[in-house]
Structure 1
Amino acid sequence: MTTLIRFIRTIILALPICFSAFTVNAGTVNAGVSAQESEVKEARLLIKEFSQTLKSTLSAAIEQGGLTNALDACHIEAPAISSRLAAQSDWKVERTSLKPRNALNSPDNWELANLQRFEQRKDAGEPVGNIDTYSTIQDKGQTVFRYMKAIPTGGLCLNCHGSSVAPSVKERIDALYPYDEALGFTVGDIRGAFTLQKVL
């Protein structure tokens, strides 16, 4: 009986230590989740700013000189917007696609794998506007947080990315982007994705 009492006492005394260890681990996990949520929130805000700035730039360019003028504006302004956002934050802000217009925006291995998963998620019925992903990876000895969000193809996008692009627009596309692959899209397709990364 004495042995049983000693055993019970040992268990009772050990419980606070067990719960203390559990609390520390849970706190670490929660801190990790909170950190990821913070990075995702930052990334989404940068994407929103990129989208709104580029949209207003293209709208003004179309009003001033039509679609070919918008192509010229996009060619110059999209990289400028990316550079400005990168300079104002700790993020690298770009776009990529399975069918890129600019060959410099071709996906790397991480982006390619996720773009393919995005297509599977779309085919499974997930709204394109909701499709995103993120992860923390090791790259060249650095811890990097990466985020991607799908870009839906809207009706206006077809003027420069559809199957029936006006000859003058196609001619300008070929001049600006000799390796263009970004044609043949329909409304609801995944045009590509915003892709952001940040060294932690």
Structure 2
Amino acid sequence: MRNKFVLYTLLVLSAAPALADDLGKYEDESRAIVASFMQKLMAENKKALMEGGPESAIKVCKEIAPGTANDLSRQHGIKITRVSLKVRNPLLGTADEWEQKTLKQFEARLAQGEKPEMLESAEIVNEPNRKYFRYMKGIVLQQGCVVCHGTGEQLSDGVKARLAEDYPYDQATGYTPGEVRGGVSIKRPL
């Protein structure tokens, strides 16, 4: 019995450096995937704003963002999604337990003066059915985002009407620049 324990302990200890290497590799890959995802969304949003104003940008978040996330998920064997504590689309943006905890940590870190670009978290978590690598990059509201996510006074009548039509359960307004809007979350099965 003692020999089995010693063997198990040695196996666990010898795997620790490999696990740390995997964690670093997964973090780097996740950063690159999220950066690509966000760059595409920002470019599409900018294009939509120039062509049709804020009402057109809503379509980017409604159609292009989920489609791009699905494509990246299939391509990389992961699940990538945008989540928030105040969701616009409850079917796609509701944070799970790990994501809720992480978003609340982001809010606290930002309140303590951490720079928005540093808001990220990564870890390996055990869930009932298996282990996962979890990663999240925070999304902090920028000045231009208030046209769709700001206070009621900042939203045009056209944006309000489009949001009411496309997102009848929308909670994703009332933000001011510099607040955590949500995060881009990656879940990778191990």
TM (normalized to structure 2)? Answer: 0.88
Cα deviation for residue 141 of structure 1 reads 2.1
Rounded to whole Å, the distance in 1 between the matches of 2:66 and 2:11 is 44
Cα deviation for residue 142 of structure 1 reads 1.5
1:120 aligns with 2:108: yes
Cα deviation for residue 27 of structure 1 reads 5.1
Corresponding residue SS for 1:143:
strand
Corresponding residue SS for 2:30:
helix
Give the partner amino acid of 2:20. Answer: V
* Cross-structure match for 2:3: none
Rounded to whole Å, the distance in 1 between the matches of 2:122 and 2:161 is 37
Contact kept in structure 1, 2:138 and 2:183, CA below 8 Å: yes
Cα deviation, 1:67-109, whole Å, max 9, x if unaligned, reads 1111123211011000110111111100111111111211111
* Cross-structure match for 2:59: 72
Corresponding residue SS for 2:177:
coil
Give the partner amino acid of 1:52. Answer: Q
Task: Supply the RMSD in Å over aligned alpha carbons.
Answer: 1.8
* Cross-structure match for 1:195: 185
* Cross-structure match for 1:11: none
Structure 1: 5+ residue stretches without partners: 1-22
* Cross-structure match for 1:185: 175
Structure 2: 5+ residue stretches without partners: 1-9
Please list every run of at least 4 consecutive aligned residues from structure 1 whose deviation after the TM superposition is greater than 4 angstroms: 23-27
Rounded to whole Å, the distance in 2 between the matches of 1:101 and 1:88 is 26
Rounded to whole Å, the distance in 1 between the matches of 2:149 and 2:21 is 38
Give the partner amino acid of 2:158. Answer: S
TM (normalized to structure 1)? Answer: 0.84
Task: Give the number of the structure whose alpha-carbon radius of gyration is greater.
Answer: 1
1:170-181 to 2 correspondence within 5 Å?
170-181=160-171
1:102 aligns with 2:77: no
Rounded to whole Å, the distance in 2 between the matches of 1:114 and 1:191 is 13
Give the partner amino acid of 2:33. Answer: L
Give the partner amino acid of 2:90. Answer: A
Rounded to whole Å, the distance in 2 between the matches of 1:84 and 1:141 is 25
Cα deviation, 1:96-132, whole Å, max 9, x if unaligned, reads 1111111121111111111111111111111122011
